[in-house]
A and B are shown apart, each in its own frame.
Chain A
């Protein structure tokens, strides 16, 4: 659930979250003096005014001022900050661009924010090896731009790619609209230079395709800033396909659209992108970006093919045949690059478009088996009636990753709570249908309660054991991603809100 909250009724919920036992008393003057010795003058932000821009990430409903914000500009400074915090037992929340949707970068009251915003250099693009070596604060799209001259690009493309950083992508294992074919962040990162909590710097992975020992690269990617600080990454670059075309198909009901997705896969096709939007979503989008969507359709599918011109022609005609058999009421194929981008523009602008038609919204991120997409849509629509809140649906249909957008008004008493319960209901349905509470946005603070539904006590305690192997005093991003057993028993006791209030 990510909030786009614009009302005056913002809640400061940071204080309700789990935290490690704080140091008996924080000697804030001592902390500032110590960090001043490490960081340049402008590398330390103090007080409410300077800390305000850091009080939340993309999950704006949760706000918390940190003790202070450290903005190191060299590896030595990061290491020194970590050593100091490690000795002082001072919690650290690592931050990139702050675009995350699950509150992974929400500060903690008794800790500092470690911003990597100054690490924005692309250190090397090696066209022959098809790799780029970058600092963590480099924006996702900047890598593709730097590689474009060589006919290469960085494949994972989260919707926030203009702003989000590779460091944040690594923390969240970000996806995008092309990951069914090109993989997630974990499939596209070869090496990390990582600082551990005690300031030790290690190299994980490398320029080869594998490395000896346990696969720490896989463990680190998606670890939500809880295991270490990424100082540098080597990412894989992919050759840019010669051509990409997208088919847009309309359906009179969501069940047919869901079945069409399964049929495309069954036909042996892995589209470069396979996205679905329901009527509420297309209506919001069409008003905003004029992508030319069919407003009469109950659902539309966007299916992209890329490759050589011959290959694309072959795949598009195969998809067209499947879509026709599946009962598409209208099929359009992009005729040029401008039209292809226009078809996608609507999908990529779905969140802001919904943001325009409602004071606030909440974005979910469950993943379910593809075959249950239609059933899930029906259940969501029932929940929408029960809670008397509108919901627009955009999906990465190929992956079964859903982003229902629950619309509400935080200024209307009770609506935020109702929306939260509605969201919790969808997440729990995702688990019930054999899926997961989060496909690509991360757990953060937002879904930490629902972790208790998805995982057993033994599994959660195994996560804590992994965490302790890296960070024994739980100083990195405390209270995020993995709930304490106590928290889960409270959650289970209060039960889960399923029926309407």
Chain B
């Protein structure tokens, strides 16, 4: 494994010296996400494998090129899981890519996001220097929290070599319910339930052929799930696992539209948005998907007005030209740029992927 590290370091040092952009890539399953791809490919997949996993420690450490499937299988064998349910978006998805993209699945509102479960990273910066931040323990406040800063940075601050994640036991029981509710009512219900001690672990609202349906998953102790089912009502969904999996992987019918797919991240209590196109709501109201041909300015200003932001998740022709991510205010932008330079002074790591300016 040390030869692979040496090879990565050689590539990065050469790129730094020659100011040649590098494109860090694992399985390529999230190539569509973020800004345009640019630079010579550096394939992270050779650096693979689980470094350590001890179920009683609730921690797994694995190399960046490890297939996400392999990690999930190892955890499942011990009755554990990655509670943030990272989307794979392809069979080749790697751990490094999942953490660099920083995306989370249906359980996010209840359990936390990818960044909430990262305990430590080993990374190689834009000078080819290998450094460790955080660690393999639950609580660690020594030094700035550089490891969480890496989550969602799309490889622009460093090549993630190893990642340590907190893992959780799989819930003893799960049940999925569906009930009819128009959007406004569904938002009220989700927010109301979230304020009560109920074991809701995922929500999905969608207007489909069979009406406006709110689907929700309950996870926890048998007794807790049973009593919540009684309280919430609705109808039990039989093939629930397939439903949540299709939602996470965006294989559900909603995601097969031929318009741009926007991800709106909003306060959960934001009222229904009046935007052209179809919507699907997750995370108790905090994540709203929009399939729409609306111009970027319209979508982004609606998101901002509601107190959130909009990401052009999968852009089609009509939205090209708009950046993937909502613009930052100037002082924040300046700060982000300085941070980028602190980790990658030559600006060679995935330039343009996170931000058009660097």
With A213-B332, A435-B135 already in contact, the answer to whether A207 and B141 are too (CB < 8 A) is no
**A186→B148 contact, CB < 8 A:** yes
A367 within 8 A of B: yes
B222 within 8 A of A: yes
With both chains docked as a complex, state the minimum distance between the C-beta of A78 and any C-beta of chain B, in angstroms. 16
Segment touching A, from B191-199, B203-211, B290-298: B191-199
Query: Of A130, A215, A308, A439, which one neighbours B137 at CB under 8 angstroms?
Result: A439
**A187→B116 contact, CB < 8 A:** yes
**B139→A367 contact, CB < 8 A:** yes
**A369→B141 contact, CB < 8 A:** no
Q: Mark A181-219, 1 if CB is under 8 A from B, else 0.
A: 001101100000000100010111011111111111011
**B residues less than 8 Å from A187 (CB atoms):** 112, 116
Of residues 296 to 354 in B, which have CB atoms within 8 Å of A's CB atoms?
307-309, 311, 325-329, 331-333, 335-336, 338-339, 341-343, 354
Of residues 225 to 253 in B, which have CB atoms within 8 Å of A's CB atoms?
226-228
With A and B bound together, what is the CA distance between A172 and B145 in angstroms?
11
Closest to B342 in A: A465
With A and B bound together, what is the CA distance between A200 and B151 in angstroms?
26
**A residues less than 8 Å from B36 (CB atoms):** none
Of residues 118 to 137 in A, which have CB atoms within 8 Å of B's CB atoms?
126-130
**A residues less than 8 Å from B228 (CB atoms):** 308
**B195→A213 contact, CB < 8 A:** no
Query: Of A152, A265, A470, A482, which one neighbours B335 at CB under 8 angstroms?
Result: A470
**A370→B145 contact, CB < 8 A:** no
With A and B bound together, what is the CA distance between A265 and B54 in angstroms?
11
With both chains docked as a complex, state the minimum distance between the C-beta of B61 and any C-beta of chain A, in angstroms. 10
**A370→B141 contact, CB < 8 A:** no
**B197→A241 contact, CB < 8 A:** yes
B136 within 8 A of A: yes
**B79→A268 contact, CB < 8 A:** yes
**A residues less than 8 Å from B170 (CB atoms):** 268
**A469→B224 contact, CB < 8 A:** no
B1 within 8 A of A: no
**B137→A368 contact, CB < 8 A:** yes
A320 within 8 A of B: no
**A residues less than 8 Å from B327 (CB atoms):** 212
A151 within 8 A of B: yes
**B221→A469 contact, CB < 8 A:** no
A301 within 8 A of B: no
Of residues 242 to 293 in B, which have CB atoms within 8 Å of A's CB atoms?
265-269, 283, 286-287
Of residues 202 to 243 in A, which have CB atoms within 8 Å of B's CB atoms?
202-204, 206-216, 218-219, 221-223, 227, 239-242
Segment touching A, from B7-15, B37-45, B90-98, B126-134: B126-134
Residues of A in contact with B, size category = 35 or more
With A and B bound together, what is the CA distance between A459 and B151 in angstroms?
18
**A residues less than 8 Å from B135 (CB atoms):** 434-436
B172 within 8 A of A: yes
**B332→A441 contact, CB < 8 A:** no
**B339→A173 contact, CB < 8 A:** no
With A and B bound together, what is the CA distance between A369 and B56 in angstroms?
10
A437 within 8 A of B: yes
**A residues less than 8 Å from B287 (CB atoms):** 209
Closest to A306 in B: B197
A491 within 8 A of B: no
**B residues less than 8 Å from A438 (CB atoms):** 140-142
With both chains docked as a complex, state the minimum distance between the C-beta of A231 and any C-beta of chain B, in angstroms. 14
A456 within 8 A of B: yes
**A residues less than 8 Å from B85 (CB atoms):** none
B146 within 8 A of A: yes
With both chains docked as a complex, state the minimum distance between the C-beta of B357 and any C-beta of chain A, in angstroms. 11
Segment touching B, from A14-22, A292-300, A310-318, A408-416: A310-318
**B57→A369 contact, CB < 8 A:** yes
**B residues less than 8 Å from A219 (CB atoms):** 144-146, 148-149
**B145→A212 contact, CB < 8 A:** no
**A residues less than 8 Å from B333 (CB atoms):** 213
With A and B bound together, what is the CA distance between A49 and B244 in angstroms?
64
**A residues less than 8 Å from B265 (CB atoms):** 208-211
**B129→A458 contact, CB < 8 A:** yes
Query: Of B145, B266, B309, B339, which one neighbours A469 at CB under 8 angstroms?
Result: B339
**A residues less than 8 Å from B220 (CB atoms):** 307, 311
With both chains docked as a complex, state the minimum distance between the C-beta of B341 and any C-beta of chain A, in angstroms. 8
With A and B bound together, what is the CA distance between A208 and B336 in angstroms?
20
B216 within 8 A of A: no
Query: Of A129, A266, A268, A313, which one neighbours B191 at CB under 8 angstroms?
Result: A129
**B142→A215 contact, CB < 8 A:** no
**A residues less than 8 Å from B125 (CB atoms):** 462
**B residues less than 8 Å from A463 (CB atoms):** 143-144, 146
Query: Of A179, A212, A470, which one neighbours B326 at CB under 8 angstroms?
Result: A212
With A439-B140, A465-B342 already in contact, the answer to whether A130 and B221 are too (CB < 8 A) is no
**A186→B195 contact, CB < 8 A:** no
With A128-B191, A270-B168, A399-B139 already in contact, the answer to whether A214 and B153 are too (CB < 8 A) is yes
B58 within 8 A of A: yes
B77 within 8 A of A: no
With both chains docked as a complex, state the minimum distance between the C-beta of B342 and any C-beta of chain A, in angstroms. 4
With A and B bound together, what is the CA distance between A265 and B133 in angstroms?
25
A63 within 8 A of B: no
With A208-B286, A459-B133 already in contact, the answer to whether A371 and B146 are too (CB < 8 A) is no
Query: Of A221, A241, A263, which one neighbours B145 at CB under 8 angstroms?
Result: A221
With A and B bound together, what is the CA distance between A365 and B334 in angstroms?
36
With A and B bound together, what is the CA distance between A435 and B198 in angstroms?
35
B160 within 8 A of A: no
**A210→B141 contact, CB < 8 A:** no
With both chains docked as a complex, state the minimum distance between the C-beta of B283 and any C-beta of chain A, in angstroms. 7
With A and B bound together, what is the CA distance between A443 and B140 in angstroms?
10
**B residues less than 8 Å from A467 (CB atoms):** 144
**A308→B197 contact, CB < 8 A:** yes
**B residues less than 8 Å from A440 (CB atoms):** 139, 141
**B residues less than 8 Å from A435 (CB atoms):** 135, 137, 140
* Other A-B pairs, 15, CB within 8 Å; known A207-B266, A208-B309, A441-B141: A129-B269, A151-B195, A173-B145, A206-B307, A206-B309, A215-B148, A218-B149, A222-B145, A307-B220, A371-B54, A399-B138, A401-B138, A434-B136, A436-B141, A439-B138
| 15 residue pairs bridging A and B, Cβ less than 8 Å apart | A173-B145, A202-B331, A206-B308, A207-B266, A207-B267, A208-B286, A218-B151, A239-B196, A268-B79, A269-B169, A313-B223, A401-B137, A434-B135, A462-B146, A469-B339
Q: B interface vs A, CB < 8 Å?
A: 54-59, 79, 102, 108-109, 112-113, 115-116, 125, 129-133, 135-146, 148-149, 151-153, 157, 168-170, 172, 191-192, 194-199, 220-224, 226-228, 265-269, 283, 286-287, 307-309, 311, 325-329, 331-333, 335-336, 338-339, 341-343, 354-355
